[in-house]
Structure 1
Amino acid sequence: MAVRQAVFLVGGKGTRLGALTATTPKPLLPIAPDMLVLDLLIENAARHGFTDIVLLAGHLGDRVELLYHGRRIRGATIRVVREPEPAGTGGALRHAAELLDPWFLLANGDSWFDINLCAFAVAPPRNGLARIALRRIDDCARYGSVELHGKRITAFVEKKATAAGPGLINGGIYLLNRAVLDHVPGPCSIERDVFPALVRRGGVEGQVFDNYFLDIGLPETLAQGRREFPALLARPAAFLDRDGVLNIDRGYTYRPEQLYWTEDAREAVLALNEAGYLVFVVTNQAGVAHGFYHEADVHAFHARMQAELADIGAHVDAFYHCPFHPDATVRRYRHPSHPDRKPNPGMLLKARREWRVSDRGSFLIGDRESDIEAAIRAGIPGLRYEGGSLLATVRQALAAVRPAPSVPPPAPILLDTPAMQAG
């Protein structure tokens, strides 16, 4: 079963930010004109399929609770748990023990590591309790390092003992088994106290990423984030037709058991996820208009698609469908030319309104002229899928339109070693 719970440590005092955090928790600082740090983290987890998001609050936790407890963001439900007194990251996790799933994602609430969270959480370790996302950097001497042999972490090396040169550091995102709490004796740091003990038992995996990373715990890194994030938050989008592109079209396909993927379709979505693209499905569903099935059936089919994508660490950010048709037999779905029905671009334009979409690098893949016409009307390239490997078609599209990064990945600055602290 896919991991669906994401837990964020948002209880630190943020003393290194001085007056900025005197009355505002660090994760509630603005990182872009219309976005707080915690908004960014929650939305990112939700779009990767995490539907249960738990915020472990401490310092000024009432502010976090007021803003987020009970909210729903992109289909995810937010819960805030306030620790009664500071007990370190380990203590904060223990305080929420009754809420934790068997496997869950744990992340610091004051850093941004732009990885595919769905892929990171797929296939939890069979013989361990933890997986840590690692970041490769050019010089570990200032930060301390992580030693990795194969998939297994063998040591955390303090910065005083770390030689200059390239290496791996802790990226502050973890996949944990709830049994890790058996190794949390009480108030402690999960990074300093728990992980090293688990490593000595051989129970911690490491997974290496080179993606953009920034910890906003220092004035200079917060300023850097505010300079870079407005451009980084807008992602190019891949708009994918459904029947005949992602799944084999058997004529009004709507039952979940009728889902048969086209060649390499799931791998194509995963490739887009890994490339940093938003992925949207845009599909005409005239079968609803003709009374062959209901919109609830469309949603059920999409849920099946999402579940099978999650099995390989892939995801669709949002599904858009148009149930309208000029010759509909169901009166409420009859419309001469609904703005959402391709070749009209309404579904593409709706995605633009609801998400931070960069037109630069965006494209559509469809199997009909109406798909390509919708892309043209939306002002983006359209690519015709002629069958065969969808992954090959996606790679062709990426090679043709993928934009160069506007901001180079920065060298991360960590607050502490061997791992980042939430405070």
Structure 2
Amino acid sequence: MRWDDFVGGITVRQCVIVLEDGVSASLPAESARSKALAPCGDRPFLAWLMREMQRFGVEEFVVLVSSCSAQLEDVIEQIRSFLPKQPEIILSTCPFSSGTGGALLNSEPLLQERFFFCHGEALFSGNLSRFLQQAREGNSVLVRSADCLSRYGNVRLQPDGEYVEDLYFEPARSSAVGFASSGIYIFDHSVFDHLIENCSLEKDVLPALVRNRNLRAVPLSGTFWDIGKMADDEIQALDVSGTLLRPAVFLDRDGVINRDHGWVGTRKRFEWESNVRETIARIADCGYHIFIVTNQSGIARGFYSERDLEHLMDWVIDSIREYGGNIDDWRYCPMHPEAIIEKYRGASMDRKPGPGMLLDLMKRWELCPSSCLMFGDQPSDMAAARAAGMEGVTVGPALLAELIASREGF
């Protein structure tokens, strides 16, 4: 079942990334390689960008390029090896010098109804669920406060503070404080009304959206990197890992996020704990990865299927993002020694108190155990935390909201 089947969901599952300033460069030549593919620390810069987008539900990347080569495909495969989730990555080639707008038009058959759009040479790190909260329809740009517009372009807002009045992509002449683009947009298919085969997103399309009052501005705080004018050695030395390799909070589900009514596998039986979504938003705003790790023996007992659970969890995670929170990733274990369904019968290190689910997430997301916290309501949760080398915090009688409010760092 595709995400499009969920009516009213705010999660955006697709991200379009343009390399260079459209698709005008010839990528096979080393001298013309997009800076987005340059090493940054131990991986290409583009891998860091994709990793951040995966945190907020992106499952598919459409990369706009002027031509495809074995070299480019090799770099893309290298990038895959650094990503915590295995996405679909589609290279969309445009056979003419078309600018960013023309390249986007060329990729229209590949695109979902709503999609992120960003440039591969800029990376913004912040709680994008706040962006999703406000960019529910139409076209939106994520803007950030800039203390010196002489270094960046200027985004001027209309008096209502909601829509863009003017965009200037050249650096301002003054050192005034204001808003600058983060380089991240959410578009729907109304943007294609303004695209032709040869056009610039910055010079043609975005101004047309502004004139039609169809470009909402969403301010968000975060960290911004732009490597467009950096030399390769500067990109290599850029330290983004200190920000992007984050501390993490692990959450059991039943008894922590929702009331434990026993084997909850449907929305009908799912009841939120008090203030839990607001609390998860607070954790996300503080810059933490947030993961759910849950035993699901209800599958082994035949009460519901894995597909039922996945359907439910899509709704749970989307509901959390509705409140500005996020779940970066999640794991479940359907195994039980006394399962009714044979294929789920047996022991598993993934089933808490085993640490398997926690260890897998820690490996994939490159987590340090000393920077992780596990919140759970059962002794098995605490045992799994200890086995994974992280601190465990018992939920109950105090709720997650009360425990987070009382802890330093949140």
User: Common fold, TM-score beyond 0.5?
Assistant: yes
Q: Select between 130-139 and 192-201 the one with higher mean Cα deviation.
A: 192-201
User: Aligned pair 1:38/2:46, yes or no?
Assistant: yes
Looking at structure 2, the residues matched to 120 and 242 of structure 1 have their Cα atoms a distance apart, in angstroms, of 25
SS where residue 357 of structure 1 aligns?
coil
Partner of residue 139 from structure 1, selected from 145, 148, 155:
148
Using the TM superposition, name which of 207-216 and 380-389 deviates more: 380-389
Structure 2: how far apart are the matches of 1:284 and 1:342? 7
Counterpart CA distance in 1 for 2:245 and 2:391 is 18
C-alpha deviations, 1:394-419, integer Å up to 9, x for none? 3434x25x6xxxxxxxxxxxxxxxxx
Counterpart in the other structure of 2:220: 209
1:102 aligns with 2:113: yes
Partner of 2:142: helix, strand, or coil? strand
Q: Given the alignment of the two structures, is residue 249 of structure 1 paired with residue 260 of structure 2, yes or no?
A: yes
Corresponding residue for 2:282? Answer: 271
Distance 1:307 1:257, change over 3 A: farther
The separation in 1 between residues aligned to 2:71 and 2:144, in whole angstroms, is 31
Q: 2:190 aligns with which of 176, 179, 187?
A: 179
* Partner of residue 384 from structure 2, selected from 350, 368, 374: 374
Q: Structure 1: how far apart are the matches of 2:294 and 2:183? A: 38
User: Which secondary structure does the structure 2 equivalent of 1:6 belong to?
Assistant: strand
Structure 1 residue 4 and structure 2 residue 36: aligned? no
Query: Quick one: percent identity of the two aligned structures?
Result: 31
Higher mean C-alpha deviation, range 345-354 or range 226-235: 226-235
Give the secondary structure class of the aligned counterpart of 2:369: strand
Distance in 2 separating the partners of 1:350 and 1:307: 23
For these two proteins, the number of residue pairs brought into alignment is 394
1:29-49 C-alpha deviation (Å, 9 max, x unpaired): 22231x222222223323311
Are 1:356 and 2:396 an aligned pair?
Answer: no
- The 8 Å contact of residues 163 and 215 in structure 2, kept in 1 or not, is answered as yes
User: Which runs of no fewer than 5 residues in structure 2 stay unpaired?
Assistant: 1-7
Q: Following the alignment from structure 1 to structure 2, what is the Cα–Cα distance between the partners of residues 295 and 319?
A: 14
Amino acid paired to 2:350: D
Give the equivalent residue in structure 1 for 2:5.
none
Distance 1:152 1:284 in 2: 45
Larger RCO: 1 or 2 (CA < 8 Å, sep 6+)? 1
In the alignment, does 2:334 pair up with 1:342? Answer: no
Q: 297-306 vs 188-197, which deviates more?
A: 297-306
Q: 1:365 to 1:125 in 2, by over 3 A?
A: closer
2:23 is equivalent to residue 25 of structure 1: no
TM-score norm. by structure 1 comes to 0.81
Distance 2:93 2:23 in 1: 17
The worse-fitting range, judged by mean Cα deviation, of 294-303 and 37-46 is: 294-303
For the residue of structure 1 that corresponds to 2:151, the secondary structure is: coil
Query: SS of the counterpart of 1:219?
Result: coil
Which residue matches 2:64?
A: 56
**Does the 8 A contact of 2:38 with 2:235 survive in 1?**
no
**Residue pair 2:139, 2:185 contacting (<8 A) in 1 also:** yes
Give the CA deviation at 1:112: 0.9
RMSD: 3.2
